[in-house]
Structure 1
Amino acid sequence: MRTDASCPFCPDGEDCLHLFLSCPRAQSFWTHLQLDLTAVIDIEQMWIVNPFLESNQRIRTTVLTCTLWNLWKCRNAKVFRSEDESNLQVAARCHDDLLLWSNRCSTASDKSKLVEWSNFFIA
């Protein structure tokens, strides 16, 4: 386990911006999803930029939260188990989480949207 503030994937220092946007590992995942986040300059902006182009705010924040959560889990797999997860593994976990989370939706339309988004990650 690391005791310093360096990124587990590259020689740079690790902070939120680096972990989720500027790290080559994160950039690889965003590219895998075919999303261009080069215009995003800070994490807060991700909630405004709407990289998934989803009009429903509840769905948009859920999909973004799921994606960031699974990038975090990818980082933890590297730090705590020395495992390098593939983009396909991270995307599959996003798919599974969104399917699971869709069962908590209060409306059928929200549930349907999350199921659609879950399929985006395995397409």
Structure 2
Amino acid sequence: MQWESWVPNKVNLLVWRAEFARIPTRDALVQRRIPIPTMSCPLCEVDDENLKHLFIGFGFAYGVWSFICKWCKVDPFCAFDFKDLLLLCDNIGGNKWRKKIMRGIVMVTIWVLWKTRNAKVFQQKTSRVGEVVAEVKSFSFLWIKNRSKFKNVEWKDWSDFPLYICN
């Protein structure tokens, strides 16, 4: 996995740990022999929660990724496992910074999905797809503006199409 400098370390660490299936999803907790009341996903309450289901395999995650693809003006993709998400940015054309920004947006999306899951588990807070996408847009804007060479990024332009700064 490539770490992105414009994304905070907490996001890089989460994605790195997820790549090796080292985040505490319910199936991972059961494998470590930690008793939990239910294996079902806290967001959909239909299937068992595992890494693939949480980030790829259920309707909520699919809706988030669909909006992210539309926002970034990239073709919708099909991911079969978590590592496919990390390869998404390699399949888009353009220069080095275009790929770095897209990789960072994918990482931020993973982090926001994980935060949404934790808000549901620990605070019983329910979120909608639009709220998650708005959070991805705002966090990624804040971090790219303050942690990269792109200091002149404007919110209006970023919220319409984030890859405009690489054209």
TM above 0.5: yes
Q: Could you tell me how far apart the structure 2 residues matched to 1:20 and 1:83 are?
A: 18
Q: Which has the higher contact order (CA 8 A, sep 6+)?
A: 2
% identity of equivalent residues:
28
Pair 1:28-2:63 in alignment: yes
CA distance in 2, matches of 1:93, 1:52: 24
Q: Which has the larger radius of gyration?
A: 2
Q: List gaps (5 residues or longer) in structure 1.
A: none
Partner residue in 1 for 2:89: 50
TM-score relative to the length of structure 1: 0.74
What is the aligned counterpart of 1:74 among 116, 138, 141? 116
CA contact (8 A) 2:55 2:61 kept: yes
Matched pairs, number:
117
User: Residues 15-55 of structure 1: CA distance to partner in whole angstroms, max 9, x if unpaired?
Assistant: 11110111122122223444633x21111111223399464
Shift in CA distance, 18/54, structure 1 to aligned 2, threshold 3 Å = farther
Q: Does the 8 Å CA contact 1:66/1:98 hold for their aligned counterparts?
A: yes
Cα distance in 2 for partners of 1:41, 1:80 equals: 28
Alignment RMSD (CA, Å): 3.1
Q: TM-score, normalised by structure 2?
A: 0.57
